[in-house]
Every structure is written in structure tokens, then in C-alpha cells.
Amino acid sequence: VDDDCEVDEPAPGTVTVDEDCLAPDIEVTDPWNVAIEWQYTVPGGTGVIVMPAVGNLTDDNGDGVINSDDIGDIGSPWPKHIIGLSANLTYKDFYLNAIFNAQLGHEIYRTYERSDVTFSNMQTFWLDRWTPEAPSEDLPRLTSTDPNNNQRPSSFYVEDGNFLRLRNLQVGWSLPQEWTHRAKMKEVKVYLTGNNLFTITNYRGFDPDIGTSGWILDTGIDKGFYPNNRSFGAGLNVTF
């Protein structure tokens, strides 16, 4: 179809175009591999327009057919490295304690997401989905009919699960002993604390530290677990 032509969509799955706008041969370079055929109507007949499709599938075994024979290994849920790091710093009467943890060398499979339910809330990265005005080679278009069955398990839902998180940070001040001794106290500390203050990760889900539901086969599968919350607090520690 000529770029200058107007295309109307009178009903889902059908489009109407001017007869002069149709080319005898339509060649589409489809970044999503499987094209979707839309029916069009013109005076005196009907035909097919090839539209960009909705899923990035590959013929891994090279037999010319995309089916279950192309299933392969698309990642490991087991971190190769689990790291914990703590730091305790003091300066005069002030102190800082920090706990970091990290997991490296694994993948996470997002199962909570449904690209065929277009009326639900979606994460912000879906703003970059494929549209006619802004074609994308990274995200498919959203459609409730899901003709390409994008919900099938594929590497599209598998992401790098590496992360580094500041699990806990506490900053405090120990009152001078001449003050505490007058009040017959050994030690008094005033502190501020925070949990899960920041996470460095490329994972697009809610939280890369997903844990499991208690079943070992759920390891690495994100079912929409509620993310670890960020919290702040203050306290007073008195020793008599």
C-alpha cells in the first residue's frame, strides 16, 4: 500500500482502501517473522494486506517450520554467584552500617504478563510497543486476539536477572559518655535506618529478587510476586 494512501478500519480484522492504492506485489520485511494478513475490500472484490506481526519467533532447527521442534534451552534460573557484603564504618561518635546482596549469572522468566489482555494495566516499557506510527523491533503490538499466540513460552519473556541491592543502611550517633553516665546509662544511640533503598538491575519486572512459592520448579519464574518494599525508620537504643 502506498504511504500516501488512507486506510480505514470499519471493523476489527478488516480494512478498506482505495483500489488505486493497491500494489500488485506487496513485499514486507517483517522483524517479527510471522506476518498477519488483514482482509481489505475494494469496489468489485476483496484481497489481503500483509501487516507487521506480533511475535518474534525463530526456526531454530532450520526445517522451515516454526513449531514445538524449535524448543530449546533459553536460560538458567540458578545464579552462578550469590554475594553478600557488609560494611561497618565509624568516625568519632558516628557510625554507618550497610548490607549489600547480589545475584549474578541467571535469568528470570516473566509469567505474570499477558500481552493479549489490552485493557489491563501494563508496565511503562510497553509504551514502546509496535504501532503503525512507531514500528518496534523489540516489543510486539498489543492485541486482544493474539493471532500469533504470543503467550506461548519463549525467550521474549526471559530476561537477565542480575542485580545488586542495598538491603539495609543504618546511620547513627552515639551520645558522648559524659552525658550518658550522668543519666546512669552505659550507652545511648540515635539512628536512622532504611531497607531496600536501591537496586541496580536491567530486569524489567517488579523485582529481580523474586524468591519462590516454595516449589523448587518455580525457581526463576516471576509470577508477579509482590516486590520487596522500601522502608525507613528511626530509633533510640539505650543500654543501662
Q: Tell me: the pLDDT tens digits for 75-118?
A: 899 999 999 999 999 999 999 999 999 999 999 998 887 655 56
Task: Specify which residues 96 forms β-bridges with.
Answer: 89, 171
Q: Tell me: the pLDDT tens digits for 56-77?
A: 567 778 887 777 787 778 889 9
Q: Do 188 and 236 form a contact (C-beta atoms < 8 A)?
A: yes
H-helix or E-strand spanning residue 178: helix 177-182
> What would the mean pLDDT of 198-218 be, rounded to a whole number?
88
pTM recorded for the entire structure: 0.70
pLDDT of residue 168: 98
pLDDT of residue 156: 82
pLDDT of residue 112: 82
Q: Tell me: the pLDDT tens digits for 128-146?
A: 887 777 777 777 777 777 7
Whether the pLDDT of residue 11 is over 60: the answer is no
pLDDT of residue 211: 75
User: In 3D, which of 70, 143, 72, 158 has the Cα closest to residue 107?
Assistant: 158
pLDDT of residue 105: 95
pLDDT of residue 198: 95
pLDDT of residue 21: 45
What is the chain's mean pLDDT, rounded? 76
Q: Tell me: the pLDDT tens digits for 21-36?
A: 443 333 333 333 344 4
Query: What percent of the chain has pLDDT above 90?
Result: 33
Q: Tell me: the pLDDT tens digits for 150-203?
A: 777 778 889 999 999 999 999 999 998 888 888 888 889 999 999 999 999 999
pLDDT of residue 39: 43
SS3 content of the chain, % helix, strand, coil (to 5): 10, 40, 50
Q: Positive or negative, the Cα torsion across 30, 34, 38, 39?
A: positive
Q: Do 100 and 197 form a contact (C-beta atoms < 8 A)?
A: no
